[in-house]
Structure 1
Amino acid sequence: MIEENNEKVLILDFGSQYAQLIARRVRENNVFSEIVSHKITAEQIKKINPKGIIFTGGPASVYVKNAPQCDEEIVDLGIPILGICYGMQLGCQMLKATVKPTVSREYGRTTCIVNDQSKLFKSVDKDIIVWMSHGDQVVELPIEFESLAFTHNCPYAGVKHKKKAFYGVQFHPEVTHTLQGSQIIRNFLYEICGCTGTWKIDSYIEKSLHDIHSQVGDGRVVCGLSGGVDSAVTAALIHKAIGNHISCIFVDNGLLRDYEADEVVKTFKDNFTVDLHVIHARERFLDKLKGVIDPEKKRKIIGHEFIEIFKEEAKRISGVKFLAQGTLYPDVIESIPAHGGPTVTIKSHHNVGGLPAELGFELVEPLRFLFKDEVRKIGEELGLPEELVWRHPFPGPGLAIRIIGEVTKPRLEILRNTDKIVIEEIRKAGLYRSVSQCFAVLLPLSTVGVMGDERSYENVIAIRAVETTDFMTADWYRIPHEVLGTISNRVINEIKGVNRVVYDISTKPPSTIEWE
C-alpha cells in the first residue's frame, strides 16, 4: 500500500535491520514513508514522485561482488537523497568517491564534529554523539563534494554533493543513541526536501478503511483475536469498514497470561457486535509441545496448530474468503527480508507469511505498515478501551517462549503466577504506562537456596522491562530498587518452586526484547 499523499519519502532497503526504524522517524515528522526494494528503477520512482529518498545501511561492502546496488540514474532525478552508512558509501561511490576498509573500525557511540551547520546539521550542536557501526568508509572525495562532519577515525562522517541533491552520513541518525539524530532527519525532510508535514494518523485510518472495503467488497473476513491491541485494532478497523461481514476467532491455547482468556471474551462482547467464536484448545497445544526445547520449533508448532484450528473453525463459517492479521512493521522486518532486500532473519513470527495456500484465504493486513505506538493511536481514535489500547505487547506464541526449555503445565503455572505478581507490582508503583513492556521469564536451570532451615534447589526467574517507542530498539527500564525488591520477595515467598529472581539489563540491539 502506498499512501495517497503528496508528501512521501521512499526508503530504499539495502539490508538494514533499521529500515523500519528510519520509516518510523520520518513519520514522527508527519511525512509518510514507505520502504521499497533497492532494485526499484528510476522510472518507477519518477511515477511515485516522492519528496525525498533515503538509502539505508546494510551489512555488505559496496566494493565486493554482488553487493546490493541501485539504479544509478536515481541520483540524477533531482530528488533529494540521504544516504545512511552503507547508503552513504554507495551514493558516494556512484558519484566517483573512493570507499575502502578502515584501519580502525567504529562501533558504538562516537563524538562527531560538525563543520557545516547549514541545512542537514541545522540546529545541531557542533560536537554531537552519534552511533557508528561500520568497517568501511569513504576515504577520498571528488572536488564536487563537501565535507560536513568528521570523527577521530572517519574524515567524512557527513558529506554533500555540490551539484547533485545527495547528502550522506556515515553514522545512524535513526537510532536513539545518536542524540540529535531526529533533528538531522527532520532537517533532511524540511530544510532539504521541502516537506510541510501534512500526514496524520487519521488520514491513515481513512485510507485503511477505503483499502479494506476495496479489497474485501461483500466477502467475509475471519480475524484471529489474541487479546492484544494489534488484533483488536485490526478487528475494529475491519468492522468499521465492512460492518458485520467479519467473524472473530479466539483460540485459548493455554499459553496466555492469568485471566486473559476471560478478559478477551468480555472485552469483545462489551465493545463489538461481531460474530465471536471461542475455541478451547489448551490440551491440544500442550500435547504438541511435549519435549520441544528449540524456540523456533515452538513458534512453528504453535503457529501451525493455530492455523489448523483456524482452518477447522473457518469451515464452519460460510462465505469466508479473507483472513485478517494484526501484522506490524517490526514483525515483518524480524521475520523475512524486507521487499526483496538482503536483511538477515532474526526470528520468525507466527502471524507473518499468511495461511497455507490450500486454504484459499486472502490476507487482510491493515496494520502491516505501522509501529506499535501508531497502532495505539488508531485504537484511541476508534474508541477502544484504554486498558486494551495500552496493554503491554504479548507474543503470539504466548508464555511458551518465555519458558526457556520444555513447556509443561507445572512450568506454565509457575510463570503465569509470577507474571501476575510482576504486573500487579508494576501497576501499584504507577509504572505500567511508563514501561513499554514488562514480563517474567522462567529459566532452564535451578540454583541452590536456603528456605527456612532447609536447602533448596529450585527455579530461577528473570524479570525483563524495557522502554521504547518503536520496539525496533529498546533500553532496559530502571525499575526502582524497592519495587524490584518487592517483586522478588513476593515471587520467592508466594510461588512454589522459585528461589531466585534476576533482572535483565540488556538493550536491543544487541539483545532482543523477548528471550526466545
Structure 2
Amino acid sequence: MTLKTETVRPPTGMERLNRQMIAILDFGSQYSELIARRIRETQVYSEVLSYRTTAEQLRQLSPKGIILSGGPSSVYDAAAPHCDPEIWKLGIPVLGVCYGMQLMVQQLGGEVTRSDRGEYGKASLCIDDPTDLLTNVEDGITMWMSHGDSVVRLPDGFGLLAHTTNTACAAIAHPQLKLYGVQFHPEVVHSLGGLALIRNFVYHICDCEPTWTTAAFVEEAIREIRGKVGNKRVLLALSGGVDSSTLAFLLHQAIGDQLTCMFIDQGFMRKLEPERLVKLFHEQFHIPVQYVDARERFLTSITGITDPEAKRKCIGHEFIRVFESESRRLGPFDYLAQGTLYPDVIESADTNVDPQTGERVAVKIKSHHNVGGLPKDLRFKLIEPLRKLFKDEVRRVGRSIGLPEEIVQRHPFPGPGLAIRILGEVTAERLEILRDADYIVRQEINRQGIYHDFWQAFAVLLPVRSVGVMGDQRTYAYPIVLRLVSSEDGMTADWSRVPYELLETISNRIVNEVQGVNRVVYDITSKPPGTIEWE
C-alpha cells in the first residue's frame, strides 16, 4: 500500500483534540473495539485502524502510542496477517496484545510455537518485574487468557515482566525501544488488573494527557460544525433516540435556525412513540420538527423482501429518497446530518481483506441503514459529528448539553425499527402484533422500576406458527421472542437473568392481550456469538 504525496494541511480543531491519540491496529480480534473503549476511559482518544496501515501513514497520524490487537490467526501460518515491519522503527511506543505480542516477537527475531496446552479463561499473573508496564499491578491478580500459541524465545533486548503457570512469557518488554507485549487481554472486565496496565501504557509510557473529555469534544464539535456548515442549511434525520436527539441539541447550539429536524414516520416505530416525539421537541425543547407520514411508502418498498441485509439497505435507500423529496418541498439543503456512531461504522466495515489471499480478518456484521445503506448518488453532503463516539460517550455529551434524562437513558433502537425485529417479510399485520407485544415488555419493566437495568429490552416476532390451545380451541399463531440484555457499549452483551415472575407476567399478558400470538420464548444468547438484534 503506497501513500500519495500531498501537501499537509493544518489540523482541524477535532484533529488537534485527537492528537493525543492511541492507534489500534486490528488483526480481527473480537475485542479490538473494546481496547478502544478502555483507552477512552482514560480520557485519551483512540481509534481502530486496519492492520495494513503503513508505518508512513502512522507517522503522519502522529499517534502517541500503537496497540496491536489479538486475532484468530497463528503468526506462523502462511496467510497470517502481518503489520508493516517499519513500525518498530518509528520510535512510537507499541503494546502487542495476544496475537499482537506474538507478531512483535516473530518479526523482531524471536520464536512462537504451538503450545502443548492452550490457556483459556482466568489465570493468575505472577509478576517478575513490578515496574514500568506493571506498576501498581498486584502480583497474583487475575488476567484473562485466550491463546493456543506461546512465545518460546524472546528477541534480543527483550526481558520478562510476568508469567503464569502455563505461560512462561505472559508479559515482556524492551524498555529502551518502548516495545511491550502481553499474552493476556487487559481490555476485558475479567482482567482485574487490566485497566491499571492500560493506564501505565497510556500515561507513563506514551506520555499522554487526558484531553478526550466531554467538554472538550462539545466545544470542538460546535466549532467544526460552524466552520463546515457556514451559512448553509442542515436537515437532520431525527428518530427520537439518544443519538439523533443529542445531535439535534448539538446542532441547534451550533447553528440555530439553520437546522431543520425532520421525523419520518416509516411505520416501524414502537407504539405511541411518533406522537410523543413530535410533542416533546415542539413543546419542551422548542425545536421545530417536520413530521412526514411515509408509513405506506416504506411498507410497500420492502414487501416481499426477506433477506435482512436487503431489508436494511432498502429502508436506508428509502430514507434518503424521502428526505430528498421532502427537502425540496421545504427548500434547498446542503447537508444531511445523521447520528451515526462508531460501532455503526465498525460493524458495517468491510475493509480488512487481504488483497493477495482474499482472507477476511474483520468481517462486516451487518449494514447499518445510515452507513451501508446509503445510495451512491446521494445529493446531500453528510455531516456526522458523533461518528467517532461510542454510545456511552454520546450519553455523556447529551447530558452535558441539557438533553433530558428520559432520552439520555432511552434504550437503543435500530434505525430500521421493528422491520428488523420481524424476521422474514414485514406485513401490516405482523407490525401490529409486534408493536403491541413490545409495548407490554416496556410497560412491565417500567412498572418494576428496572428499565435502566437493561441495555435493551424488546420483543421479536418469528415468521413461523405453532399450535396452541386457548379456551378449548386450537390456535395456530406466532411466537414472540423476548430479548433482554445487559451491556456497557453494545459491542458485547450478555442476556439478563431476570426473575421468572417477570417473564411469567410478560408472557401471560402477551398471549392474553395480543391477538395472533400463542407462545413466548426467552433468548439466552450472548453477543458474541449472537448479535443483540436478530437481523
TM bin (shorter chain): over 0.9
User: In the alignment, does 2:126 pair up with 1:114?
Assistant: yes
Distance in 2 (CA, whole Å) between partners of 1:514 and 1:355 is 20
The DSSP-based 3-state class of the residue aligned with 2:453 is coil
Q: Deviations over 1:164-210 (max 9, x none)?
A: 21111223222334344323322322343334434311101111111
Matches within 5 A, 1:379-394: 379-394=398-413
CA contact (8 A) 1:246 1:274 kept: no
Choose the corresponding residue for 1:34, options 38, 47, 50. 47
CA contact (8 A) 1:326 1:366 kept: yes
User: In the alignment, does 2:199 pair up with 1:186?
Assistant: yes
Runs of 4+ in 1 over 6 A off after TM superposition: none
Distance in 2 (CA, whole Å) between partners of 1:187 and 1:506 is 35
Q: Deviations over 1:143-182 (max 9, x none)?
A: 5222334445543332222532111122322233434432
- Amino acid aligned to 1:281: A
Residue 8 of structure 2 aligns with which residue?
none
Q: Deviations over 1:299-331 (max 9, x none)?
A: 122112112111211222333111111111110
Structure 2 gap segments, 5+ residues each? 1-13, 355-360
Shift of residue 257, structure 1, vs aligned partner: 0.2
Choose the corresponding residue for 2:509, options 461, 481, 490. 490
Matches within 5 A, 1:68-87: 68-87=81-100
User: In the alignment, does 2:258 pair up with 1:245?
Assistant: yes
Shift of residue 131, structure 1, vs aligned partner: 3.8
CA contact (8 A) 1:3 1:32 kept: no
- Amino acid aligned to 2:107: M
Structure 1's 199 and 240: CA in aligned 2 closer, same or farther, altered over 3 A?
A: same
Choose the corresponding residue for 1:500, options 486, 497, 519. 519
Choose the corresponding residue for 1:331, options 338, 344, 348. 344
Choose the corresponding residue for 1:364, options 365, 370, 383. 383
Residue 411 of structure 1 aligns with which residue?
430
Identity of aligned residues (%): 55
The DSSP-based 3-state class of the residue aligned with 2:46 is strand
- Amino acid aligned to 1:11: I
Q: Deviations over 1:204-256 (max 9, x none)?
A: 11111111112211221111111211111122212211221122221111111
CA contact (8 A) 1:159 1:168 kept: yes
Matches within 5 A, 1:14-53: 14-53=27-66
Shift of residue 425, structure 1, vs aligned partner: 0.8
- Amino acid aligned to 1:332: V
- Amino acid aligned to 1:114: C
Q: Deviations over 1:105-133 (max 9, x none)?
A: 555x2324333343333443444444444
The DSSP-based 3-state class of the residue aligned with 2:330 is coil
Structure 1's 487 and 385: CA in aligned 2 closer, same or farther, altered over 3 A?
A: same
Matches within 5 A, 1:436-447: 436-447=455-466
Shift of residue 103, structure 1, vs aligned partner: 4.8
Q: Deviations over 1:254-304 (max 9, x none)?
A: 111001111221122134555532211111122222222221121122112
Structure 1 gap segments, 5+ residues each? none
CA contact (8 A) 1:426 1:432 kept: yes
Distance in 2 (CA, whole Å) between partners of 1:395 and 1:165 is 43
Distance in 2 (CA, whole Å) between partners of 1:191 and 1:114 is 22
Shift of residue 334, structure 1, vs aligned partner: 0.6
Deviation larger for 161-170 or 419-428: 161-170
User: In the alignment, does 2:363 pair up with 1:350?
Assistant: no
CA contact (8 A) 1:15 1:337 kept: no
Deviation larger for 46-55 or 418-427: 46-55
Aligned-residue CA RMSD (Å): 2.4
Residue 476 of structure 1 aligns with which residue?
495
Q: Deviations over 1:432-460 (max 9, x none)?
A: 11211111111233333332323333222
- Amino acid aligned to 2:21: K
Residue 215 of structure 2 aligns with which residue?
202
Deviation larger for 160-169 or 504-513: 160-169
CA contact (8 A) 2:492 2:527 kept: yes
CA contact (8 A) 2:313 2:372 kept: no
Q: How many aligned residue pairs are there?
A: 515
- Amino acid aligned to 1:445: V
Distance in 1 (CA, whole Å) between partners of 2:299 and 2:215 is 42
For normalisation by structure 1, the TM-score amounts to: 0.92
The DSSP-based 3-state class of the residue aligned with 2:23 is strand
- Amino acid aligned to 1:26: I
Distance in 2 (CA, whole Å) between partners of 1:503 and 1:239 is 41
Distance in 2 (CA, whole Å) between partners of 1:493 and 1:127 is 55
Residue 238 of structure 2 aligns with which residue?
225
The DSSP-based 3-state class of the residue aligned with 2:531 is coil
- Amino acid aligned to 1:288: S
User: In the alignment, does 2:479 pair up with 1:466?
Assistant: no
- Amino acid aligned to 2:125: I
Residue 511 of structure 1 aligns with which residue?
530
CA contact (8 A) 1:224 1:249 kept: yes
Choose the corresponding residue for 2:303, options 270, 290, 311. 290
Deviation larger for 43-52 or 407-416: 43-52
Shift of residue 65, structure 1, vs aligned partner: 4.5
